[in-house]
A and B are shown apart, each in its own frame.
Chain A
Amino acid sequence: MTRPGTIAAGLSGAVLTGCQGAQSAFDPAGVEAERVLTLFWIMLAGGTAIWIVVIGVSYYAARGKSGPYSDRSGIRLIVWGGCVFPAVVLAGLLWWGLTMMPELRRAADGPTIAVSAERFWWRVAYAVEGEPGVIRNLPRGGVPSANEIWIPLGKRTEILLSSPDVIHSFWVPPLAGKMDAIPGRVNRLVLEPTRPGVFNGACAEYCGTAHTYMGFRVVVVPEAEFEAYVASQALPAATTDGSGARLFVQNGCAACHTVRGTAADGDVGPDLTHVASRRTIAAGLLPTTVENFAAFIRSAEHIKPGVEMPAFGILPEEEITAIAQWLGKLE
């Protein structure tokens, strides 16, 4: 292969790799994402066609005819090419885009999940009460979790979005478009996945220092599995005694975190009752391992700059290990 050929192959490989995977809008796994992708391809093709015509006309004007144009032909070009054509194309695109929206936003037939976007993580509550939209603040109660949202396959799940601090945006590119989470208001987003899998979500509205690290996972599973998951999340913690649990409460972790079944009932940070059952910790940042729990306890700010949680490196190493090992058992 020639050198430019090698470069082109490398580049296209890199570009195509970027088009697949758990966080790509080019690899849709949801009804809305599929529509958005179709819209994108049509827009891209149309934009390319118009670009070619404009470049062609420029070339013709510069290199083709040399004499002046008559007023009549000039006006005709402006009226048809500059007025009628864009007006018709834009009207068509507008109509198409608009007619897509009511269908995508029709009522859900699956579960309702409240998601509160907070600097810099996602508070999740399954099976919340409350009619869709009939609220200005997220409904209380439900089965608490964080940073990982399970939804049933083939059902329309309603995500109720809000925030207690600043504006965030909830975006799972393979499933649907973005939806803002705005303080004092509840926005709804309906997710309708078309295939199972684990997908990445991100905060898509700059919200502060750790904005980049405000990720989450969406796990799409068959409905029965979803029901079983929510039922398991509703249970108290698997292990509520031992030195880890005791040190967790003793060292003040309980002031911010809840572990149901223990004295820890803080409401500032994520609910850790089943933290080890989640794929990641620190909002999609690290894989869930005992070592990562320990590293995060030791110096949260080092791993996730901007995080609210203070560093607990002052604790003796064996205490950090004991807490991390206990958290690792909370499945």
Chain B
Amino acid sequence: MQVFGKTQDNLWTLVAAPTIWGFHFLFSYFLAAYRCAPNDDIFNTIGGTRAAIAGVTAVCLLLILLIARRAWREWRADGGGYSNNQDTPEARERFLEFSTLLLAALSFAAVVFETLPVLVFWDCR
């Protein structure tokens, strides 16, 4: 739906990036736990698991970047203000766009943090 010549923001667009972050966390955590749960070959490398997490991470980061890009462009197109003290559709839109941008930045950093162990751990130790 188009409003003010651009897409309309709502709660779903706001939580899209944190949802991807949540998915990434659960996916990485469960996959690594499932792979290492037998606790029986802790010195064997887990290349497949690491590659799967790396692949999912790349997709998640790309999606978050797309969300951030959309929010950034629409927020800037409107002048990029920070005050949202008016009871108008424009102010609401601007608030949602800026909040989406901030949440996307947070989610991006969080997904990167969650992926760092993949670079360090080669096995289940």
Contacts and interface: CB of A to CB of B under 8 A. Distances in A.
Given A87-B109, A94-B113, A101 B82 contact: no
Interface residues on A, range: 20 to 34
Interface in B80-96: 82-83
Chain B interface, >50% SS class: loop
Interface of A: 71, 75, 83, 87, 90-91, 94-95, 98-99, 101-102, 105-107, 132-136, 185-186, 188
A150 to B, nearest CB: 25
Given A95-B116, A102-B120, A132 B39 contact: no
Nearest to A186: B39
Nearest to B37: A185
Interface of B: 39-43, 82-83, 105, 109, 112-113, 116-117, 120-122, 124-125
Contacts of B83: 71
A75 B41 CA distance: 50
Contacts of B122: 102
Nearest to B106: A83
B121 A132 contact: no
B39 A133 contact: yes
20 contacts: A83-B105, A87-B109, A90-B113, A91-B113, A98-B116, A98-B121, A101-B120, A101-B121, A101-B125, A102-B121, A132-B42, A133-B39, A133-B40, A133-B42, A133-B43, A134-B40, A134-B41, A135-B40, A185-B39, A186-B39
B41 A133 contact: yes
Contacts of A185: 39
Contacts of B105: 83
A95 B112 CA distance: 11
Contacts of A102: 120-122, 125
Nearest to A87: B109
Contacts of A133: 39-43, 124
